């Protein structure tokens, strides 16, 4: 056995020694592509979503020269009709492109791949004929061994995502992949199947994929691979039950990626880190470049600044991913930036509505860390206004609060939707979107005899008071819906009671605007709540 050629099952054996969530059904998906025109699969998903785990699992299952049955007989794949037919029956070629870059650099990675794989081929098949290219050498290895290869390529897009990678190096790299997977003669003879994974889909050459023979399954359109992207709702329920973890908190922190046909998908790395550490927090920054998000939020693309503010406020933003060429160095529009952030896991895509949103608390924290350093003038202004609004609220400057909420309400909603209940709640969320520094935002918090529209709960060890905010529309038929009436509703429905065990410092904020007033004048009342 080697490192790159038939490395055996040790990697997956280590994974099985720990807590393993069964994703072996993915093997059956690959098995059903073997020997067919669809045998080349490129499955892309965000970082820390189990790509390397999947590669280790496939390697252990297919690799000849070892007995992997004890690792799989108790898993889902063992019930699949294809299980025994393909278990440990193939030569396996494993290429971790990011690892090769780390060892040989961008300029030397292809020569390094060819050299180390060739050494292992000659070591395992001493009688194999020499060849000028790696593709031809693999062909000779098939002839010598009588077995085809399963190719497993991890982090295929590492050179594409690397800002230091010159265009010529990328071009040469794509030509290398074409030499393996585009030649009808070589590809069909050498490879029974290929499983290639990364964060980005394959780069486009014009309007077509640069390696067109691959079937692509992305975080936007995962197809049959959807159940294996990350942890599903059932996975999370089982984990929370086993480890006695609050399911609601787990959902708040790590839920939010919606995949068609599956529903909620969670980042496996973050979930397991939270279980092991016994603490809910953002583990994303430990698995990503902390400057990456800021870099993309700062790009000078029309509409991007407003989109960022809307996303931070919890709104969904329209996105058209169709023109994205899967190249981070060639972003041409707001849609391209949002599409890239979706592939990176910073946004969640709703295919039916064609919208994106920030998926969960963990990712909101990463945006909050970046937003104060953006350079867009419009975003800077909105951040400053939101921070000031939070200060005015805490300092109980009611007139200033009313003036800012009126401004946001007028800016963001046209007359047709102005009085819509969602627009009222949206106004609060947009206005207070910079809350992340000091607060957690809770919507429809159950308390007393109803649900508080929006509550801002101070973070642990914060001196800030909790905020219970109610916005009402006043007109002749509802004269009680003034700011005082909003405060009265908060009290009568006992919203603050649910917070009293968390903090004794609670402010009640009632906002009202007059629907009969042409200017829709807003008024505000702020009271300190006492038991």
Please check whether residues 202 and 246 belong to one and the same domain: no
Question: What's the CATH code of the domain at 423?
Answer: 3.40.1350
Gyration radius (Cα) of the chain, Å: 27
Give the separation between CA 475 and CA 496, rounded to whole angstroms.
27
Give the separation between CA 243 and CA 330, rounded to whole angstroms.
45
Question: What's the CATH code of the domain at 19?
Answer: 3.40.50
Residue at 441 is within a domain: yes
Give the separation between CA 266 and CA 257, rounded to whole angstroms.
7
Give the separation between CA 74 and CA 79, rounded to whole angstroms.
9
Please check whether residues 329 and 451 belong to one and the same domain: no
Task: Note the pLDDT of residue 529.
Answer: 84
- What three-state secondary structure class fits 409? helix
| Strand 149-154 versus strand 191-198 pairing type | parallel
Please check whether residues 335 and 293 belong to one and the same domain: yes
Please check whether residues 21 and 166 belong to one and the same domain: yes
Hey, how many other C-beta atoms are within 10 angstroms of the C-beta on 359? Answer: 23
Task: Note the pLDDT of residue 261.
Answer: 83
Give the separation between CA 240 and CA 365, rounded to whole angstroms.
23
Please check whether residues 147 and 244 belong to one and the same domain: no
Q: Are 194 and 40 in contact (CB under 8 A)?
A: yes
Residue 143 region by backbone torsions, left for phi larger than 0, else alpha for psi between -120 and 50, else beta: alpha
Structural domains in the chain (count):
3
Please check whether residues 520 and 421 belong to one and the same domain: yes
**∠ at Cα 316 (362, 51), nearest 5°?**
45
Final residue before a domain boundary, out of 322, 337, 371: 371
- Determine phi and psi for 45, rounding to 5 degrees: -160, 165
Please check whether residues 129 and 268 belong to one and the same domain: no
Residue at 376 is within a domain: no
Which residues constitute the domain of residue 87? 10-226
The CA–CA distances, whole Å, from 386 to 309, 372, 423, 457, 493 equal 10, 11, 17, 17, 28
Please check whether residues 65 and 26 belong to one and the same domain: yes
Please check whether residues 159 and 193 belong to one and the same domain: yes
Residue at 446 is within a domain: yes
Eight-state DSSP code of residue 163? T
Give the separation between CA 315 and CA 309, rounded to whole angstroms.
9
Please check whether residues 246 and 298 belong to one and the same domain: yes
Give the separation between CA 18 and CA 335, rounded to whole angstroms.
40
pLDDT in tens, the chain (531 residues): 789 999 999 999 999 999 999 999 999 999 999 999 899 999 999 988 888 899 999 999 999 999 999 999 999 999 999 999 999 999 999 999 999 999 999 999 999 999 999 999 999 999 888 888 999 999 999 999 999 999 999 999 999 988 888 889 988 999 899 889 877 778 899 999 999 999 998 876 654 455 778 999 999 999 999 999 899 999 999 999 999 999 999 999 999 898 888 889 999 999 999 999 999 988 886 555 545 788 888 888 888 888 888 888 788 999 999 889 888 888 999 999 999 999 999 999 998 899 999 999 899 888 877 877 777 777 778 888 888 999 999 999 999 999 998 888 888 776 665 666 667 777 888 888 877 778 888 776 655 555 667 888 888 777 889 998 888 887 777 777 788 888 888 888 877 777 777 787 899 999 888 877 777 788 999 999 876
Q: Which of 1, 11, 9, 4 is nearest to 116 (CA)?
A: 4
Please check whether residues 444 and 496 belong to one and the same domain: yes
Task: Note the pLDDT of residue 290.
Answer: 47
Task: Note the pLDDT of residue 289.
Answer: 53
How many distinct helices (H) and strands (E) make up the chain?
A: 21, 18
Residue at 5 is within a domain: no
Residue at 420 is within a domain: yes
| Strand 466-474 versus strand 450-458 pairing type | antiparallel
Eight-state DSSP code of residue 66? S
Q: Are 480 and 491 in contact (CB under 8 A)?
A: no
- Determine phi and psi for 320, rounding to 5 degrees: -110, 105
Final residue before a domain boundary, out of 173, 194, 226: 226
Q: Are 44 and 200 in contact (CB under 8 A)?
A: yes
Output the CA torsion sign for 358, 359, 365, 366.
Answer: negative
Residue at 4 is within a domain: no
Final residue before a domain boundary, out of 168, 199, 226: 226
Please check whether residues 454 and 360 belong to one and the same domain: no
Residue at 380 is within a domain: no
| Strand 204-205 versus strand 208-209 pairing type | antiparallel
Q: Are 247 and 283 in contact (CB under 8 A)?
A: no
Residue at 377 is within a domain: no
β-pair partners for 466: 506
Listing DSSP states for 227-245 in one string gives GGSSEEHHHHHHHHHHHT-
């Amino acid at each position: 056995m080697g490192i790159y050629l038939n490395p055996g099952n040790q990697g997956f054996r280590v994974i099985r020694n720990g807590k393993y969530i069964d994703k072996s059904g993915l093997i059956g998906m690959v098995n059903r592509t073997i020997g067919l025109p669809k045998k080349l699969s490129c499955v892309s998903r965000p970082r820390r979503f189990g790509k390397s785990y999947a590669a280790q699992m496939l390697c252990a299952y297919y690799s000849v020269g070892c007995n992997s049955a004890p690792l799989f007989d108790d898993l889902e794949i063992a019930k699949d009709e294809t299980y025994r037919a393909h278990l440990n029956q193939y030569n396996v070629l494993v290429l971790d492109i990011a690892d090769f870059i780390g060892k040989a650099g961008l300029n030397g990675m292809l020569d390094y791949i060819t050299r180390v794989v060739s050494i292992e081929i000659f070591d395992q098949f001493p009688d194999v004929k020499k060849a000028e290219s790696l593709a031809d050498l693999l062909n000779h290895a098939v002839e010598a061994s009588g077995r085809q290869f399963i190719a497993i390529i991890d982090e295929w897009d590492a050179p594409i995502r690397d800002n230091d990678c010159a265009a010529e190096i990328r071009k040469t790299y794509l030509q290398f992949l074409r030499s393996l997977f585009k030649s009808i003669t070589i590809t069909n003879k050498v490879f029974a199947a290929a499983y290639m994974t990364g964060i980005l889909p394959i780069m486009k050459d014009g309007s077509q994929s640069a390696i067109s023979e691959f079937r692509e399954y992305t975080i936007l359109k995962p197809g049959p691979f959807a159940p294996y992207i990350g942890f599903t709702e059932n996975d999370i329920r089982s984990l929370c039950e086993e480890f006695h973890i609050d399911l609601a908190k787990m959902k708040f922190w790590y839920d939010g990626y919606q995949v068609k046909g599956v529903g909620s998908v969670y980042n496996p790395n973050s979930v397991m880190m939270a279980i092991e550490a016994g603490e809910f927090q953002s583990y994303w920054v430990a698995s990503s470049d902390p400057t990456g998000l800021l870099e993309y939020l700062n790009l000078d693309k029309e509409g991007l600044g407003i989109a960022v503010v809307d996303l931070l406020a919890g709104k969904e933003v329209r996105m058209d991913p169709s023109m994205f060429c899967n190249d981070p160095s060639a972003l041409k529009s707001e849609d391209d930036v949002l599409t890239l952030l979706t592939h990176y896991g910073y946004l969640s895509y709703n295919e039916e509505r064609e919208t994106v949103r920030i998926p969960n608390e963990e990712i909101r924290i990463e945006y909050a860390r970046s937003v104060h350093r953006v350079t867009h003038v419009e975003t800077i202004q909105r951040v400053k206004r939101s921070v000031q609004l939070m200060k005015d609220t805490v300092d109980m400057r009611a007139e200033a609060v009313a003036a800012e909420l009126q401004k946001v309400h007028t800016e963001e909603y046209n007359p047709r939707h102005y009085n819509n209940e969602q627009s009222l709640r949206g106004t609060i969320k947009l206005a207070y979107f910079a809350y992340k520094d000091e607060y957690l935002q809770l919507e429809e918090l159950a308390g007393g005899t109803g649900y508080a529209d929006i509550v801002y709960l101070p973070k642990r060890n914060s001196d800030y008071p909790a905020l219970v905010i109610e916005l009402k529309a006043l007109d002749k038929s509802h004269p009680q819906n003034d700011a005082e009436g909003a405060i009265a509703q908060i009290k009568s429905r006992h919203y603050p009671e649910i917070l009293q065990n968390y903090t004794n410092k609670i402010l009640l904020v009632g906002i009202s605007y007059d629907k009969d007033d042409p200017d829709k004048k807003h008024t505000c009342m702020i009271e300190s709540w006492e038991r």
